[in-house]
Amino acid sequence: MLELPDRFDSSKTVDTLYAYWGRNYQQSFNNEERAYNALQKWCQLTKDTHKEITIFEYYSDHFMLGNLFPPLFHRIYEDINLYSKLGISQMVNLIVPYIPKENVNERDFQFPWQSIQLMNSYYFARLTWGDDFEEIEKDFYSIFNEHQIVAKNVLTKMESTLSGVSKWNVPLFPSRVIDPEKVKECEDLHRIIYDLHKWKNELEPFKVDFNSEMKDPYSMITFYLHYVCEMLEIYLQEWKEKVE
C-alpha cells in the first residue's frame, strides 16, 4: 500500500491499483484505520482525475495465509459490498500456490491446497460477477450431498477462527505465525501462544472421523480440519519453546 502524501495528487494519465498487504481478515476493512483512510483518499483523488481504482486482494494467497489457510467466504462478500459503497467496481484476487517449508512432515504433502484455495477463488469469482451470496452458498454446499450441514458448520467455524491468523503478518514480517523457527526476537510471544491455543480449542470440537484418501469433497474437508488442528498444535509447541 502506498499512502499519498498531502502535497501530491494521483496520476492524471494512469489508473490506480490499491494493494494493501497485511490486513486482519477477521475484521472489516474499515477497521484497518490507516489503510482505510488511505483508500478513501485515493478514491477521492481518482474521482477528481476521472481515473479508475482497482482493489488488489489476497484471498487466495497461500504465502500470506500459509497452511492455516482460512475460508473467507463472508469476508469476500462483505469486502465487495464495502468497496462498492466507496464507488469501486473493480477487484483482482492474487493466487499464490502453497510451497511447503523445508522442515515438512508427511501431512504437508497431503494437504489439498489446490482445492482449499479454490474455495475462496470460487466465491470471489461469482460475487464479483454479481451473483447472490445465498445462491452461491446453495450451489457450493450441494457438492457435499448428505453432509451439507456439517460441511457448512465446519467451514463457517474455520472462517471465524482462522481469519484471525493474518493479523500476525505485519508484527512478524517478513515471517508469519507459522514460521516460529525464523523469529529470533518477539515481544508478543504470550499473545501468539494464547491465540494458537484459542484457535485450536475452538476447532477441535468440530473434528469428525476422516479418511486421508480424500475421495470426495466431504472427506477433503474433514482432512483439512484435522490437518489444521494438527499444525496448530505443532506451532503452539514451537512457540512455547521460545519462552522456556
Among the residue ranges 110-114, 140-144, 165-169, the one predicted with the least confidence is 110-114
11 in any annotated domain: no
Enumerate long-range contacts of 210-219, CB under 8 Å, 24 or more apart. 212/110, 214/110, 214/112, 217/115, 217/143, 217/144, 217/151, 218/144, 218/145, 218/147, 218/150, 218/151
Indicate if the pLDDT at residue 161 is higher than 60: yes
Q: Residue 16's closest CA among 28, 24, 8?
A: 8
Regarding pTM above 0.85, the answer is: yes
* 2 within a domain of the structure (yes/no): no
Whole-angstrom distance between the N-terminal and C-terminal Cα of the chain?
37
Residue holding cell 501468539?
Answer: 192
Give the model's pLDDT for residue 3. 80
pLDDT of residue 91: 97
Q: What percent of the chain has pLDDT over 70?
A: 99
In a domain, 9, yes or no: no
Interior/surface letters 30-48, b for 16+ CB within 10 angstroms, e for the rest: eebeebbebbeebbebbee
Q: What is the pLDDT of residue 214?
A: 84
Does residue 138 lie in a domain region? yes
Q: How does pLDDT run across 162-176, given as a tens digit for each residue?
A: 999 999 999 999 999
54 phi and psi, to 5 degrees? -120, 135
In a domain, 10, yes or no: no
Q: Is residue 84 part of a domain?
A: yes
In contact, 94 and 54? CB cutoff 8 Å: no
Q: Which amino acid would we find at residue 53? A: I
Residue 19 host element (H or E) = strand 16-19
Q: Which domain holds residue 172?
A: 16-241
DSSP secondary structure, 50-77, as one string: T--EEEEEEEEEHHHHGGGPPP-HHHHH
Amino acid at 90: Q
Bridge pairing between strands 90-96 and 53-61: parallel
> Residue 1 — very low, low, confident or very high, per pLDDT cuts 50/70/90?
low
- Express each pLDDT in 12-32 by its tens digit: 889 999 999 989 999 999 999
* CA pair distance 65, 42, nearest whole angstrom: 26
Residue 1 lies in a domain: no
Whose grid coordinates read 488442528? 229
**Type of residue numbered 120:** N
Residue 211 has pLDDT above 90, yes or no: no
* Domain-embedded: residue 226: yes
Q: Are 190 and 172 in contact (CB under 8 A)?
A: no
Q: Which grid coordinates are listed for 179?
A: 514460521
Work out how many domains the chain is built from and give that number.
1
